[in-house]
Structure 1
Amino acid sequence: MKKTFAIIALILSFGLQAQSYKFRITGTIKAEKEKTPIEAATIHLEKAKDSTVLSYTISDEKGGFSLEGKVYNNKVKLYVSFVGMGEYSKTILLEKDSNINLGTILLKEDTNVLNEVVVKSRAPITIKKDTLEFNVKSFKTKKDANVEDLLKKLPGVEVNEEGQITVNGKAVNKILVNGKPFFGNDPTIATKNLSKEIIEKIQITDTKSKSQAFSGEKGDANNKTINLTIKKENNKGWFGRVAAGGGTDERYEAATIVNRFDNNTRFSVLAGTNNINSPGFSFGEINKMFGNGGGVSFSSNGSFSIGGRNFGGGDGIITSRTAGATYADEYGKGVDLNANYFYSGSSSENVNRSNREYTVQVRDENNPTETRELIYFTNSSSNSSTENDNHSFDTDLDIEIDSTFLINVSPRFTLNNRTSNFNQSNETLDENRALTNSFSSSTISSSDAKNFQNTIDITKRFGKKGAFIKASITNQFDQTDGENFNNSTIETFGTNASTEIRDQRTDIDSDLTGFRTRLSYRQPIIAKKLFVNLNYRYSTDERTRIESTFDFDNTTQDFTNFNTDLSTNFTFNDITKTPLVGVTYNAKSFNLDFDIGQTMRTLENEDQLRPNLSLVKDFNNVTIDARIRYRFPSKARLYVSYDLENNAPSIRQLQPFSDVTNPSNIVTGNPNLRPSKDHRVYVSFNKYDWQKRSGFFLWAGGNVNNDVIVNKTNIGDDLVRTTTYENADGAFSYFGGASYNKSIKLDSLSTLRFRTGLRANGSRSINILNDIENMTTTNSITPRLGIEYNWNKKIVIEPNYEVAFTNTAFNIDNIEDQNFTRHSLRIRTRTNVPKKLEWRNDIRYTFNPNVIGFNRSAWFWNATLAYSVLKDKGTITLKGYDLLNQNTNARRNVVGNYIEDSESTVLQRYFMLGFSWKFNSLGQKGEVREFHF
């Protein structure tokens, strides 16, 4: 029987091989009238039977093209198209191994364009100046695909596991729907929630503000904008999704989004809640809806953000609540409105512990010209719980007075309420592990914050040579009221043993009034090519902060004793004036922007509690901003930038007030500080070869910091620190890397995609300890390799591996260099067999051999099963999170003169059963016929 099966399999394999047709089709595209080569013409091959796109490419600078691949249909049709030219088509009969040279193909000028007849191109890709346009129906995906699934199929486009998108290595920071924002500037809401079936075209351009687009300026060369064009017949109706799930360990999630599109009018609402560390945008349906977000980042103050929007919360286990609405419409000619409301709430709990080993050089008491090594240790632990509620409302109103005059008004209002409980304990031990001091505290805090900000942009163009004048005005008002209760104990051991107990209440009142404006004028020297720019920037931020601390009085049994040492009352004003002059040069393949100016900055501080500490400081420094863009004939692009900025010290760093909030580290400002001078350089190079389906991206950048402001600390025998600030030279940072990706079409069903790259970064930090300058230089290099195998969109296997090598060196001879190696392996799989069942796995392995005291290695495995029901409108899901129950976030950091190992609370294994249902009434009435010429 086994032999029989083997023979049958062998016969089938020969049969399949006999039915495959390997081909190579070449030619040259030229304009019929001028006989000149046409660069960036689209050439694609379709099945003659059902118009399925088999292969495509773009002609090079000489008009040449080459199509290679293997198909299972011998009758195919070749199409050639270019904007402004008539389409060329040819039916081709393939042999088993075809090598076909079509010679020169001449394209005629399209008379329909002259007659303003709209023709819908069937080309998969069209290049229009700086815009790359993809025809959605040319890229096949699974039946229930969203926009994110579609983007992953486009050449040069990468979408990582968090939903962050890059195009030829450049980040996508904005996604528009029919040219308008969709739920603000969070790209993932559009990509994870809009269905592929309603989209007609995807356009990719450099990111521009509305004012830049209106004035004709170049956009941001390092960021991309994607515009999703909805089919006309699909731009009226309702669509959305509802889902919920519950699981073990009391885990749950629920969310919904409802959209109403009616041509230029668009209205959407969403809501969600979960306790699985997602920002309220999570569904069990394998991230098809809302998903786990784009670029989730956590901060030390307990908040986290996604797509630039703050959701509050913290490390540890987070329960989130989210609701929002967006509205877009046009009112008459030239008036465009977009409005968004978001509510985001969260509750978080976290336990953290960390260990540090300090190595410090100090002066020898017996011989001041010599130094000795001081080693000591700290152990810290904390637990926290936080409640956070945030409401935000923003509006974007465009008023186009006429074709030369645009006004944009963008008000934003935010209301935040926050309460938290924080308990911590810290102990310091000497080199013999003997306890020298300890600190423990329990803090309860609450705050209410209001923020209003409004920006008005006015743009006026003059003539047809590129002249314009622009004005931007922003005003801001912030108000924060808070209350903190602190109960702490500070103990010092040894010969001068002491104990200090604090029981205090602090009332906080903080206000900020800000005003910023920028005036710009551009005068053409050579029409639309060479310009002189005049700019003036002015800003003022006035901040008032009152912190009133009261000690508990045992007599009155209330917080009535005012503590001057722990209280502040000051008004701080930061005034900046910057005139600039520059030039702009725009050519077909070369662009230059150069601006130079003088920044005049005044810092004023009026201290009501300590009038002797009031100060006024003036700083005058040069500012430079330069940008160069160059496009090679091969379509490769080079970008170079240089910036010189001067950053003034903060009021905390300048004011000679001793902050004794933490008695083990007393901090005092230095009024003699100078501004730091930051030189920043960035270079990028990218190229995508349409012929070979390969892309290369190279980038490098760095900062050199002169007069950088550093900590100057003295440590006593009791290990109590006193800190101030000094200027120092020699600090720097750098980053860079390269990536290469290539797609290989094995046959009409199978595709292999390679991604390889290298990241490198490093920095030198400086601090002064006991009058000895300590320099810490860290260098890291991380090679990585990724492979994706895709068979008929039914089986996808994606292994990825990277290893990070890190070296930290010290300028002190007797401090040993530190070397760290971290291995990461990730394997993702997806199968759609049988058709209605989808099974996904996400397996990660990390190995940290240098971490001390915590788990060095861990496997992390998530899996999801999804089964389609109700004619594919419903989905039942079963999700397993951390199946091996090994999730950990143990990490090691080398910072300055210490090594830290830390670990905090993480979400661990659970299983969840969920159900999702989608609805869609778009395009049910009437169809718009497409014509192909």
Structure 2
Amino acid sequence: MKKVTIVFIFFFTSFLSSQTNSFNISGTLVAEDGNFPLESATVYLQRVIDSTLITYTISDRNGEFTLENKTTDKKANLYISYVGYQTYSKVINLDKEFTDLGKIKMQINTEALDEIVIKSTAPITIKRDTLEFNVKSFKTRKDANVEDLLKELPGVEVDEEGNIQVNGKPVNRIFVNGKPFFGDDPTITTRSLTKDIVEKIQILDTKTKDQAFTGEEVDGENKTVNLVIKEENNKGVFGRVAAGAGTDNHYEYAGMFNYFDNDRRISFLAGGNDINSPGFSFGEIRQMFGGGNNIRLGSGQGLIESQNFGTNYADKYGEKVDVSANYFYSGSNSENKNISNRENILADSRFFTTSTSNSFNDSDSHNANFEIDIKIDSTLLINIEPSFRYSKSNTQFSEDETSSDEFNALLNQSTLTSNVETFGKNFSNEIDVTKRFGSNGAFLRLSLDNEINVRERDDFLNSETNIFGENPEDVLRNQYTDGENKVDNLSSRLTYRLPLIGKEFFVEFQYRYDFNKQEDKKSTFDLDTDTQEYSNFNIDLSTDFEYINEANTPSVEFEYRKKDWSASMEASYVFRTLENKDMLRPEFTIQRDFEAVELRSRFRYRFSPQSSLRVGYNLNNNPPRLSQLQAFRDVSNPLNTVVGNPNLEPENNHRVYARYNNFNFQKGFGFYGFFRATIDNNTVVRKTVIDENLVRETTFANVNGNYDVNGYVSVSKKVKIDSLRTLNFDVGIGPNIRRTINFNNDVQYASNNTSLSPRLGMRFIWKDVLEFNPRYRLSYTQNTFDIENFDDQEFISHSLNLNSATFLPKGFEWRNDVSFNYNPNVADGFQKSAWFWNATLAYSVLKNKGTVTLKAYDLLNQNTNARRIATQNYIEDVESTVLQQYFMLSFSWKFNSLGSAAEDFEDGGRRQRYRRG
């Protein structure tokens, strides 16, 4: 009977879609007071019956708009919204295909002079560089979280790991009412907060507090999402708890509690599991506790058991002080077995290395972060961000490795066991003091950043290395190393911006001072066989270094801004001193001075609210690392001695880039294109010489001729079949061409790498019935070389994902995530292909407040992470421990007292709040 019902619904919906009528509504918006066009106004169409959104668009720079779609309705309500103007409304007859409304004069909202704040139902509003979405305009299931909501917004993409992109640009921060919510992990916010407490979602360019305070323009390469909580939902408690038990004694648990009292927010979370989910992500179905269905073929390494606890606090004291703080504890223990087979390519021969390793790790870390904003007045802002961290870990490691020539003759072998205990302490602080002058963008800013990082290490090592051949040698080590590494960083910046022409042309002067000091002390003691104590000091394996990297950088930047475009040019001159003091070997003490010019430029043009182009050029100068400069012989690896080169020169990096995006919200069409070319001069590369027993000596050298050209193009299209069914298509391709200069056994050569990664995806949505999301990806790599005995290489792999969700019968949700990976190039003995199938069946109980979930991980029991790694010098096949098949039954319950007293204020989705004074 249920099958018959589903079939009936399908054909009935198909019948309804056949009765839909196409419409095309156009017009031009002008201001009544000046008769000039109004760009970025929101034009939207709603059903008369229930005010459901049919479609919407944004007016262009000429004030013109066109609404196109299909509907079964004969009439609809048209609304036009623009900040500072009265909302225009009209009933539109949809009995004809084309409707031209001509010129529409928008009237100024005179009530705005009385500070009346109107909260309209416009689905999208554009305020300068900020996109604002009205949550009520986007339909999701009743128990949807913020991540579900974001997936419905035009131009927003959320992948299976919870990473968010807006118009092709990554989201790196999520705020709640303008304040951070549990640190830097956005999935904690998007998967724990439910849609029903959010009123609006704002998307804007990522800026620091002081950049937002001064109104500076940023590069726009990262986006910030701000969740605006409904005013009536700013007081109360909400959260959820869950727990699960499974086969093979697997378990998981998680809980979150939130208390909101207007500006004050207090939150707690805790979680733990043994299913490889070291972070905290709360999704009941797709990613319960951050694990489960998201672990795909080739992604997991080892078995991890973890526990997490955290608390977050935010408040406002008076009108001048904002405070936020959070604390996190995370603990984990893991085990992993790794097997690798490597084919090493030499100029005149090849050799093969096989290794097997086992590792066990226990770690604990404590993190505390604070942020204090003090707004002295409207022109002076002080921002203070201290951070503390303490960590400790213990790692037990063992490895067996053998190397043989191409005739299978054994050349060397080694065994190693170690026990390492590490303690780390870190303190950092950022202070920014910003003073604005006038209203044209002038400001003076002083920034001070400092960091103190101390790491102590106790290392017990027992190893044996056997070198065969004409000069056989056995290297035996039984040692204890007491190590301490200390890093002191100080960075200060003084910035002054001066407007030259109004708010359009600026000059910015900056002076930056950077000081980095590292102390690296390792005292290694060999075992005294007579006393059985580690008392024989080994100077060859001990170090006592002091590194100093000091730089003074004055710079000047010119920036020009217009409504639709902006351009900037910055030039810096770096005075840098690198100094290395060797307390054990004073003859290796060095000091080098470098000077360099650095350039940055960018140009941005906005064709429309949905379309923009950005191009730029950067010249960067990177000095060699001190470890590459110092002539100290590092003999910690008996098979590879590393010696620095004090004559190295700095690297120069030239980079040009272009990005173009065009997203049409109404037509559901999106295009994103990216191009970048990088040319490197004086690149520092490793230079290794290998003897007949495969014992290596490595140093460093500068080379020219490296370049990298890459890009990415993606096209997406949303097809609305009817009010219930939609199809989303997306296709993308990312070509890359890279040339690198290297050394192989003291012979210089060039390698050319060409790679191509096309992908194709589709998402079919039948609301409240079915979701189906197949994705395919092909990875192709070709390596060519200009050296004899190096064969050209080609690698290809295939990845197919089939994700589905079914929501029938009522209250049930059945999700299946199926992936197939095929890597034909993996060596014999490694698994070349596998199907990976995860499934969850959930049922809502207790009036949708509770959920019972049955989860099946790796139903086909084929999970593997075998993979091939190819470089210019070797080809390696690797396989590690992965999580095996299990089944788990879980229960979750959510609670919410927010907004319980606010229902009387609802008025058809439209509310007014008066602030007369």
TM-score in terms of structure 2 length? 0.96
- The 5 A counterparts of 1:354-503 are 354-361=340-347, 373-503=348-478
Provide the residue aligned with 1:182 in structure 2: 181
Shift of residue 705 of structure 1? 1.3
Which of 554, 560, 572 pairs up with 2:547?
572
Shift in Å at residue 838 of structure 1? Answer: 0.5
1:722 paired to 2:697: yes
Query: Does 1:649 find its partner at 2:648?
Result: no
* 1:505 and 1:550 in contact (8 A); partners too: yes
Match of 2:487 among 489, 512, 517: 512
1:737-776 matches, within 5 Å, as 737-776=712-751
Out of 633, 640, 648, which is 1:665 matched to? 640
Distance 1:12-1:119 versus aligned 2 partners, 3 A rule: closer
- Which residue of structure 2 aligns with residue 244 of structure 1? 243
Between 285-294 and 919-928, the greater mean CA deviation after superposition? 285-294
Alignment of 1:471-620 (within 5 A): 471-620=446-595
- Supply the distance in 2 between the matched residues of 1:198 and 1:85 (Cα, whole angstroms): 28
Tell me if the contact between 1:242 and 1:917 (Cα under 8 Å) persists in the aligned partners: yes
- Once the two structures are superposed, residues 184-216 of structure 1 have per-residue CA deviations (whole angstroms, 9 ceiling, x without a partner) of 222111111111000000111111100101111
The change in CA–CA distance for 1:298 and 1:835 in structure 2 (over 3 A counts) is closer
In the alignment, what sits opposite 2:613?
638
Q: Moved runs in structure 1, 4+ residues, more than 6 A?
A: 4-11, 293-299
Q: Deviations over 1:654-683 (max 9, x none)?
A: 111111111111111111111111122221
Q: How does 1:296-375 map to 2 (within 5 A)?
A: 315-361=301-347, 373-375=348-350
The AA in structure 1 aligned to 2:302 is G
**Paired residue secondary structure (1:575):** strand
For 1:704 and 1:298, the matched residues in 2 are separated by: 35
Please tell me whether the aligned partners of residues 861 and 885 of structure 2 are also in contact (alpha carbons under 8 angstroms): yes
Q: 1:33 Cα shift?
A: 3.3
State the AA in 1 paired with 2:859: L
Q: Secondary structure at the match of 1:185?
A: coil
Percent of residue pairs bearing the same amino acid type: 50
Shift of the alpha carbon at 1:896?
A: 2.1
Q: Which residue is equivalent to 1:308?
A: none
Do structure 1's residue 825 and structure 2's residue 800 form an aligned pair?
Answer: yes
Shift in alpha-carbon separation, 1:268–1:892, aligned structure 2, 3 A = same
Aligned residue number for residue 902 of structure 1: 878
Kindly indicate whether the alpha-carbon contact (under 8 Å) linking 1:444 and 1:486 is maintained by their aligned counterparts in 2. yes
Query: Do the aligned partners of 1:822 and 1:846 also contact (CA within 8 Å) in 2?
Result: yes
Supply the distance in 2 between the matched residues of 1:753 and 1:266 (Cα, whole angstroms).
Answer: 38
Residue type of the alignment partner of 2:101: L
Aligned partner of 2:418: which letter? T
CA distance in structure 1 between the aligned counterparts of 2:882 and 2:33, rounded to whole angstroms: 68
Give the CA deviation at 1:69: 2.5
Does the aligned pair in 2 maintain the 1:774–1:896 contact within 8 Å?
A: no
In structure 1, the partner of 2:915 is none
CA distance in 2, matches of 1:245, 1:14: 41
SS at match of 1:133: strand
Range that drifts further, 102-111 or 906-915: 102-111
Task: Give the conservation status (yes or no) of the 8 Å contact 2:40–2:609.
Answer: no
Distance 1:7 1:602 in 2: 75
State the shift of 1:102 in Å: 2.7
Query: What is the CA–CA distance in structure 1 between the aligned matches of 2:170 and 2:292, rounded to whole Å?
Result: 15
Aligned length: 906
Deviations 1:159-190 (A, max 9, x none): 00000111110111111110111112221111
The range that moved more, 912-921 or 764-773, is 764-773
Whole-angstrom distance in 1 between the partners of 2:287 and 2:229: 19
Q: Show CA shifts across 1:308-361 (max 9, x none).
A: xxxxxx931111111101100001111000101011111111111111112211
Question: 1:33 maps to what in 2?
Answer: 33
Deviation digits for residues 884-926 of structure 1 (CA, Å, limit 9, x no counterpart): 1111111111112211111111112111100000000001124
Q: Tell me by how many angstroms 1:7 deviates.
A: 13
User: What is aligned with 1:857?
Assistant: 833
Contact in 2 for aligned 1:891/1:901 (Cα 8 Å)? yes
Greater Cα offset, 290-299 or 239-248: 290-299
Residue identity matched to 2:36: T
Amino acid at match of 2:175: L
Q: Cα gap change, 1:10/1:574 in structure 2, threshold over 3 Å: closer, same or farther?
A: closer
1:9-39 per-position Cα deviation (integer Å, ceiling 9, x unaligned): 9995796367544433333323233333322
1:5 to partner: Cα distance: 12
| 2-structure distance, mates of 1:448, 1:6 | 60
Indicate if the aligned counterparts of 1:645 and 1:679 stay in contact, CA closer than 8 A. Answer: yes
Residue 31 of structure 1 aligns with an amino acid whose one-letter code is: A
Deviations 1:55-85 (CA, angstroms, capped at 9, x unpaired): 1111223323222333333332111111111
Q: 2:753 aligns with which of 756, 778, 781?
A: 778
1:816 maps to which of 763, 767, 791: 791
* Distance in 2 between residues matched to 1:5 and 1:148, nearest whole Å: 31
Q: Which amino acid aligns with 2:631?
A: P
In the TM superposition, residue 152 of structure 1 has moved relative to its aligned partner by 0.3
Q: Alpha-carbon deviations, 1:262-309, whole Å to 9, x = none?
A: 00000101011011111242557214765459999999xxxx9xxxxx
Matches of 2:24 and 2:759, distance apart in 1: 32
Matched residue SS, 1:565: helix
- Mark the CA change 1:165 to 1:762 in structure 2 (over 3 Å): closer, same or farther: same
Give the drift of 1:544. Answer: 1.1
Q: Is the 8 A contact 1:65 1:691 kept in 2?
A: no
The CA deviation at 1:6 is: 14
Asked if 1:866 is matched to 2:842, the reply is yes
Q: Which whole-Å CA distance do the structure 1 matches of 2:703 and 2:287 have between them?
A: 51
Rate the CA distance shift 1:254–1:647 in 2: closer, same or farther, 3 A.
same
Alignment correspondent of 2:889? 913
Moved more, 82-91 or 222-231: 82-91
Q: Distance in 2 between matches of 1:874 and 1:5?
A: 27
Determine if contact 1:758/1:781 at 8 Å carries over to the other structure: yes
- Letter paired with 1:495: E
Amino acid at match of 1:758: I
Asked if the contact 1:244–1:283 (Cα under 8 Å) also holds between the matched residues in 2, the reply is no
Specify the SS of the correspondent of 1:152.
Answer: helix
SS in 2 for 1:653: helix
For 1:74, the equivalent position in structure 2 comes to 74
Report if the CA contact (8 A) 2:500-2:507 is conserved. yes
1:810-853 superposed Cα distances (whole Å, 9 cap, x missing partner): 12144211111111111111111112000111111111111113
Q: Report the TM-score when normalising by structure 1.
A: 0.94
How has the CA–CA distance of structure 1 residues 218 and 293 changed in structure 2, closer, same or farther, with 3 Å as cutoff? farther
Does structure 1 retain, via aligned residues, the 8 Å contact 2:735–2:755?
Answer: yes
1:92-122 superposed Cα distances (whole Å, 9 cap, x missing partner): 3433x64333333222111122222111111
Instruction: Provide, for residues 406-461 of structure 1, a one-character-per-residue CA deviation record: whole Å limited to 9, x for no partner.
Output: 00000000001010001011111011011000111001000111000011001001
Cα distance between partner residues in 1 of 2:382 and 2:13: 66
Letter of the 1:233 counterpart: E
Letter in 1 for 2:357: S
Structure 2 match to 1:167: 166
Give the AA of the match of 1:632.
F
Q: Where does structure 1 lack aligned partners over 5 or more consecutive residues?
A: 305-313, 362-372
Q: Please, which moves more after superposition, 62-71 or 891-900?
A: 62-71
Secondary structure at the residue paired with 1:221? coil
User: Aligned partner of 1:155: which letter?
Assistant: P
Alpha-carbon distance, 1:221 to partner: 0.9
Aligned to 1:100: 99
C-alpha contact (below 8 Å) 2:742/2:748 kept by paired residues: yes
Match of 1:309 in 2: none
- Whole-Å Cα distance in 1 between the matches of residues 6 and 859 of structure 2? 37
**SS of match in other structure, 1:858:** strand
CA contact (8 A) 2:296 2:836 kept: no
Residues 303 and 883 of structure 2 are in contact (CA less than 8 Å); yes or no, is this contact kept in structure 1?
yes
